[in-house]
Structures are given as structure tokens and as C-alpha cells.
């Protein structure tokens, strides 16, 4: 099994959980935020939806790469729009990672800000840290936002207070 195919397997498994969470984002509360410094629900949900494809696209670029503008895309207007963006992001990640060989995955990849090196790590390490771990972090934030709004939470890694897949 190639390195990229291992990431794709994990991505596929975790995408099912992420989809269940994103499907519960209420259209009527997209502008809500828990704190003035926090993202809105719509901004956070869109970020969660876009991470896999955006990160796969970035890490597939030739090295060294100049750091892009990491601004979030516009917040969705509806939950179906959010799910569509998620599906497109997953398709992009699958397409890009499906074509990545182990040599490319283990090659040191560099991210630059002008002449300053921000990061120099193997592509696989970037994928683990940003495409997956970073994604899980924000998915956890999204579950807290939904809890604050009284939205029943799906099972993530076992039972939630609202759903038990083992019963």
C-alpha cells in the first residue's frame, strides 16, 4: 500500500463522520458565533468542508512554494451548499492523492514567505498534520458549536450524549 493510499483510506473513513456532523449544521444559524473572536458557524463549517481538498492541492504543488493567502472561502448560505463543497473537496483530495507516489510523499516540501522558509517537512507529514489532524481539531470545534446550539450530535468515535451506534 502506498503512503497516499493510506491517507485516502483514513480520509474516506473520517469523511463519513464529518459528513454526519456537517449535515446537522442548521441553515438558520450560519451567522452564529460563540464569541466575538470566534468564527461564525458557517465559516467554521465551510473550513471543515474545504480542508481535505485545499490541503491536498497545496501539498501537491512544487517545492519550494510561496505561502498562499489562507483566507477562508465565503460562508455557505445553506447546508446543501456546504455539503456540495465538502463533496467537491473530497473529490479533489482523492484525485490529487490518488496520483501521488511514495517518492513524492516522502520528499521534503518547503513552504516559503518570500525568502523566509516557514516549513520544511515531508509531504506525508504535512498531510498528517494539516489535512488530517488539523481537520479533526476543527471538526471537534464544530461539534462544540453544534452542542451550544442544542443540535443533537452524531456518534464520532463512539456514543455521543445523543446517539449510540452500539444500541
158 lies in a domain? no
Whether 102 maps to a domain, the answer reads yes
pTM above threshold 0.75:
yes
* 62 lies in some domain: yes
The per-residue pLDDT for 12 is: 96
163 domain residue, yes or no: no
Residue span of the structural domain in which 91 resides: 3-148
Block mean pLDDT (10 aa), the chain, length 167? 93 96 97 96 97 95 90 90 98 96 96 95 95 96 98 94 91
Domain at 18, CATH number: 1.20.120.450
Distances (CA, A) of 88 to 1, 82, 95, 135, 166: 25, 10, 10, 16, 31
| 166 within domain boundaries | no
Residue 44 lies in a domain: yes
Please say whether the dihedral angle defined by the alpha carbons of residues 82, 148, 158 and 132, taken in this order, is positive or negative: positive
Amino acid at each position: 500500500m502506498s503512503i497516499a493510499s493510506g491517507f485516502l483510506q483514513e480520509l474516506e473513513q473520517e469523511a463519513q463522520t464529518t459528513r454526519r456532523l456537517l449535515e446537522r449544521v442548521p441553515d438558520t444559524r450560519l451567522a452564529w458565533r460563540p464569541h466575538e473572536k470566534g468564527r461564525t458557524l458557517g465559516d467554521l463549517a465551510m473550513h471543515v468542508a474545504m480542508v481535505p481538498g485545499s490541503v491536498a492541492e497545496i501539498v501537491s504543488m512544487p517545492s519550494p512554494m510561496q505561502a498562499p493567502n489562507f483566507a477562508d472561502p465565503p460562508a455557505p448560505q445553506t447546508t446543501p451548499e456546504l455539503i456540495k463543497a465538502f463533496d467537491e473537496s473530497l473529490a479533489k483530495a482523492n484525485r490529487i492523492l490518488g496520483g501521488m507516489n511514495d517518492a513524492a510523499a516522502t520528499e521534503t516540501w518547503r513552504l516559503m514567505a518570500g525568502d523566509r522558509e516557514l516549513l520544511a517537512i515531508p509531504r506525508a507529514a504535512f498531510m498528517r498534520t494539516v489535512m488530517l489532524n488539523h481537520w479533526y481539531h476543527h471538526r471537534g470545534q464544530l461539534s462544540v458549536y453544534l452542542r451550544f446550539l442544542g443540535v443533537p450530535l452524531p456518534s464520532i468515535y463512539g456514543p455521543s450524549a445523543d446517539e449510540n451506534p452500539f444500541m
